[in-house]
Structure 1
C-alpha cells in the first residue's frame, strides 16, 4: 500500500486541451475522431521542437507546465507502446533495403523522451522510463512513491500513448486515441493505492485507458476506482 497526494494534473488529447474540455469529456466520454493534431510546445526552441514526435510533444505539453518553477524534480515516464510510428518507419526502411537514420533510431528508443527532457530542462534528477503492460500507470506510481519515500519533495509522473499505425491494429487495441496525462505527486495521504490478487481473471478490455479512467475519477470527484490486469487488482482510494 502506498500513499501520496496529487497536487496538480495536466492532460492532452486531440481537441481536449483545457481543464474545462477534460471535465466535459469526463462527464460524457466519447471516442475522439482520428486526427493528426499535435499539442502546442512553442515554449521550446524551434530546432528542438523539430526533433519531437507527437508522443514526445504530448509528454512535454503536459509535463512542462507542471514542472514550472521546480528544480531537481524526478520524472517517471510511462508508455506501454512507445514510438510505434518511428519504429514502423525504421522497419520499413530495413525491409526496403534503405539506409537507416541514426537520428530516427536514437529517438525511437523507449528512454528517448526522458533523455530529451533532461537536455532541454537541464535536469539531472532521477528519471525512469517504463513499459509495463496494461498496468504501467500503477507500476509508475510505485516508482514515484519510492522516490517520495526517499525524500523527493515532488515527483512528476507522465504517461503518454500514441495511436499506433494500422499495421499494429491486430496487436494493439488499448489506445483509442492519442493521449497524455501528467501528475505532480507530493508526499501525503490524500490518495491510497493498494494491490490485491484477482479472484477471477478479467475477461473484458476496459473501454478507456486506465489513465483516463483515473482522470475521470479525479474530475468527477469520485473517491475510488479499480483497475484489474491479469492476476492483479489495483485499488485507488481518495480520502472523502
Structure 2
C-alpha cells in the first residue's frame, strides 16, 4: 500500500498538541488517567452530554481535520470499544435492573460513527472495525481500498478507552486512553507492507509507535502481530 498522511491529530490525558507528543515520543511513559475529558466545546451542550469519553476522543481529534475538508469517508477502529458502557449494562443485568435503551444503543461498536454522521450531517461511507493488535493496519487496508475506489481522501481514527478495573487483568494493551486521527490521501510518501513473520511484542500499542515517525523520530517501523509482520516506511525526505 502507498499513501500520504496529509494531517494528523492525537490525544491522550495531558497530551494534545504536536509539541506535547514530540516530548512524549522522546521519552515515552505511562500517563496517569484522572478521567480527563477531551475538549468538544465545538458541539452544543445537549449533544455533548450523550458522548462517552471514547466518542469525545474521536470527535476531538477528527473534527478539526474534517472541518478543513469536504465530506469524506471515515474508518474507525477500536479493539475494545465502549467497554465502560458495556460493563454498566452487564452490571444492571446482574442486579435485575431495567436496561436503558439509550445506553444499549450507544454501546454497540458502530454507535460512534453513527453519532459522527448525524452531528456532522455527513452521509459518506463509514466503517467501524473491531480488530486485534494490528487494528491500525486493518483500518489502513479498509482506507486504502476506499482510496483505490476513487475517494480523494479518507479519515482514519483509532481510539482506545482505559479498561474498567474489573477488566484490567484481561486487557493489557491499553496503557492509557488515546486517540489518533489520520487524514489519508493518494500518494507515495508512505509504504505499508505485509509479510509472514513473528517477532517480540512491543512495549506500546502500534498507533503510539507510529506517532514517533509522525513526530520525526523514526522513518521505518515494524509491527508484529501473531504471524504477521507489518513494515511502515516513510519515503518522503
**Counterpart for residue 13 of structure 1:** 12
TM-score by length of 1: 0.96
Q: Say whether the 8 Å CA contact 1:153–1:187 is kept in structure 2.
A: yes
Structure 2 CA distance, aligned partners of 1:170 and 1:33?
Answer: 18
* Correspondence 1:225 to 2:221: yes
**Counterpart for residue 216 of structure 1:** 212
Shift of 1:39: 0.4
Aligned length: 236
Structure 2 CA distance, aligned partners of 1:174 and 1:58?
Answer: 18
Shift of 1:223: 1.3
Structure 1 CA distance, aligned partners of 2:27 and 2:218?
Answer: 15
**Counterpart for residue 232 of structure 2:** 236
**Counterpart for residue 87 of structure 1:** 86
Shift of 1:65: 0.7
Structure 1 CA distance, aligned partners of 2:217 and 2:185?
Answer: 19
DSSP 3-state at the match of 1:73: coil
Shift of 1:205: 3.2
**Counterpart for residue 183 of structure 2:** 184
**Counterpart for residue 69 of structure 1:** 68
DSSP 3-state at the match of 1:134: coil
Structure 2 CA distance, aligned partners of 1:69 and 1:4?
Answer: 19
* Correspondence 1:172 to 2:171: yes
TM-score by length of 2: 0.97
Structure 1 CA distance, aligned partners of 2:70 and 2:103?
Answer: 30
Q: Say whether the 8 Å CA contact 1:26–1:220 is kept in structure 2.
A: no
DSSP 3-state at the match of 2:50: coil
**Counterpart for residue 56 of structure 1:** 55
Shift of 1:171: 1.4
Q: Which runs of 5+ in 1 are unaligned?
A: none
Deviation digits for residues 125-172 of structure 1, max 9, x if unmatched? 110000111101000001000111111111000001000101111211
Shift of 1:9: 0.4
**Counterpart for residue 114 of structure 1:** 113
Q: Say whether the 8 Å CA contact 2:93–2:99 is kept in structure 1.
A: yes
* Correspondence 1:207 to 2:217: no
Q: Which runs of 5+ in 2 are unaligned?
A: none
- RMSD between aligned alpha carbons? 0.9
Shift of 1:75: 0.2
Q: Say whether the 8 Å CA contact 1:77–1:140 is kept in structure 2.
A: yes
After superposing on structure 2, the runs of 4+ consecutive aligned residues of structure 1 that deviate more than 2 Å are: none
Shift of 1:221: 4.0
Structure 2 CA distance, aligned partners of 1:156 and 1:21?
Answer: 22
* Correspondence 1:47 to 2:46: yes
Structure 2 CA distance, aligned partners of 1:223 and 1:120?
Answer: 37
